[in-house]
Amino acid sequence: MNDHNETPDPVAQLLRKAGKRPVPPADMVERVRARVHAEWKQEVSRRRQRQFLAIAASVFAAIGAGWLMLQMNSSPTATLVAHLQDGTRVIAVGERVETGAGEGVVLVASPDIGSAGVSLRLAPHSAVAWSADKHVELLSGQIYVDSDTASADNHMLVVNAGAVRIEHVGTRYVASVDGGTLDVTVRDGTVRLQTGEREALLHQGEQGHLELRAPDIDRIVRTTVSPSGTSWGWVDALAPQIAIENVDLHTVLVRLAHEAGLTVEYASPSVETAAHATVLHGPMLDLPPKQALQAVLATTSFVSEPTQDGSVLVHAR
C-alpha cells in the first residue's frame, strides 16, 4: 500500500495541530531509570528467594517422604548440601554444578551439613561435584571459598582436586584446576593442603602451585599474589549485593573493602567517628565492591585513596 495515497484524515489533522507530546528530560530519565531498575532487581531477587523457599519446602517434603521410604525399604536417599544463591536450584550429594561461558554462580552451603557461613563462587567454564556432605570435587575451572572465620573449625568444607585435599582454616581462597595443575591462592587467613599424610599451609597473599598427576606437597611452588589485585576480578563480579539503607558508612565500607580484599583505615579518629555517625540511604549496591566503595563515598563528605599495604585510607574532603 502506498503511504502517499491515503485520504486526509481528521485524526491526522488534530494530531498535527497538537504536536509532539512532551517528554521528560534525558537526565531525569536516567536518574529515575537507575532507581527503578535497582528496585526491580531487588524484587526479582526477593521473588527468587521466595520461589527457592517454596521449592526447598517441597524438596524437604519429598525428602521426608523419601526418609519414610528409607525406613521401609532401607534404600539410600540424597542429602541437600547447598543451594544457588539466586534461589533457582538446590544441590544434593552426588550432583554436579557446571557453568558455561556466561556468568558464574554462587553456592551457599547448607547449615544442615555443618557448613554454615561457607559460600562458594564458581567461575565461568567450571564444574564441581558434591561427593559427600562436606566434600566438593573441583573437576575443572576455578572455585572461590569464603568461610566465616569465626566458626571455621566447626564448619569446614573440603575441596578436593585430584588427590589434593584443600581445607580452609577460616579464610577465603581460590582453587584453580587447569589441565594437570592446581593453583591455590589465599586472599586472607590460612589454607591447608594435604595429600595422604603430608600437608602444607598457605597464608594470605600466597599462591601454591602443584602438579596434580603426582602431587608432592613438599615441592609446592609458592609465589606472592595481591589480595586485591586484578586476578580476583571474576570473584568480585560475583560478590553479594550489599544493603546500605539505614546502615552506617563505616559498616558499609568495611564490608565492601572485605569483599575487595582491602582493609579500611581512617586518616584520624575524628574521621572514623564521623563515618560511624553517617547513615546511608538507598537501594542495594549492585556493583563490584571496589566500584561500589567509590560510589558510596561519592555521596558523602569523605574520599579515599589506596595505600601501599593494601588498605584504603578514608579522609574528609
Partner 1 sequence: MRLGTLGRKDDGDTGERQLVDRMRKGDSGAFDAYFNEYFPRLYRFVLPRVGSDPQATEDICQEVMVRAMRRIDSYRGEASLFTWNCQIARNAITDYWRARKRRDEVEVLVEDDADIGAALESLELDISQRPDEQQSRLEVLRLVEVALDRLPGAYGNALEWKYIDGLSVAEIAERLGQSVLATQSMLARARNAFREAFSILTGVEADRVAARADLT
Interaction between residue 24 and partner 1 (CB under 8 A): yes
Distance of closest approach, residue 46 Cβ to partner 1, in angstroms: 9
Interaction between residue 36 and partner 1 (CB under 8 A): yes
Distance of closest approach, residue 88 Cβ to partner 1, in angstroms: 10
Return the number of the residue (87 or 261) whose C-beta is nearest partner 1. Answer: 87
Q: Which stretch binds partner 1 (CB under 8 A): 35-43, 68-76, 179-187, 240-248?
A: 35-43
Q: How far apart are CA 106 and CA 144, in angstroms?
A: 9
Tell which residue, 156, 160, 164, 221, has the closest CA to residue 190.
156
Tell which residue, 121, 170, 136, has the closest CA to residue 288.
121
Q: How far apart are CA 135 and CA 129, in angstroms?
A: 9
Instruction: Name the residue with cell 581512617.
Output: 266
C-alpha radius of gyration, the chain, whole number:
26
Q: How far apart are CA 73 and CA 275, in angstroms?
A: 61
Interaction between residue 19 and partner 1 (CB under 8 A): yes
Interaction between residue 269 and partner 1 (CB under 8 A): no
Interaction between residue 33 and partner 1 (CB under 8 A): yes
Q: Which stretch binds partner 1 (CB under 8 A): 18-26, 177-185, 192-200, 243-251?
A: 18-26
Interaction between residue 281 and partner 1 (CB under 8 A): no
Interaction between residue 53 and partner 1 (CB under 8 A): no
Is 82:109 a contact under the CB 8 Å cutoff? yes
The residue within the footprint of partner 1, chosen from 5, 14, 71, 246 (CB under 8 A), is: 14
Is 156:167 a contact under the CB 8 Å cutoff? yes
Question: If DSSP codes are grouped into helix, strand and coil, which group holds residue 46?
Answer: helix
Is 156:168 a contact under the CB 8 Å cutoff? yes
The DSSP bridge partners found for residue 2 are none
Interaction between residue 54 and partner 1 (CB under 8 A): no
Return the number of the residue (25 or 269) whose C-beta is nearest partner 1. Answer: 25
Grid coordinates of 196: 595422604
Return the number of the residue (34 or 61) whose C-beta is nearest partner 1. Answer: 34
Return the number of the residue (237 or 271) whose C-beta is nearest partner 1. Answer: 237
Return the number of the residue (7 or 230) whose C-beta is nearest partner 1. Answer: 7
Interaction between residue 23 and partner 1 (CB under 8 A): yes
Distance of closest approach, residue 59 Cβ to partner 1, in angstroms: 21
Instruction: Please tell me the count of residues contacting partner 1 according to CB under 8 A.
Output: 35
Q: How far apart are CA 106 and CA 116, in angstroms?
A: 15
Tell which residue, 245, 279, 285, 298, has the closest CA to residue 38.
285
The DSSP bridge partners found for residue 233 are none
Interaction between residue 196 and partner 1 (CB under 8 A): no
Return the number of the residue (24 or 180) whose C-beta is nearest partner 1. Answer: 24
Interaction between residue 39 and partner 1 (CB under 8 A): yes
Interaction between residue 222 and partner 1 (CB under 8 A): no
Interaction between residue 12 and partner 1 (CB under 8 A): yes
Sign of CA dihedral 134, 140, 146, 150: positive
Q: Which stretch binds partner 1 (CB under 8 A): 31-39, 123-131, 144-152, 227-235?
A: 31-39
Grid coordinates of 127: 564444574
CA-based max dimension of the chain = 92
> In the complex, which residues of this chain contact partner 1 (CB under 8 A)?
1, 3, 9-25, 28-29, 31-33, 35-37, 39-44, 47-48
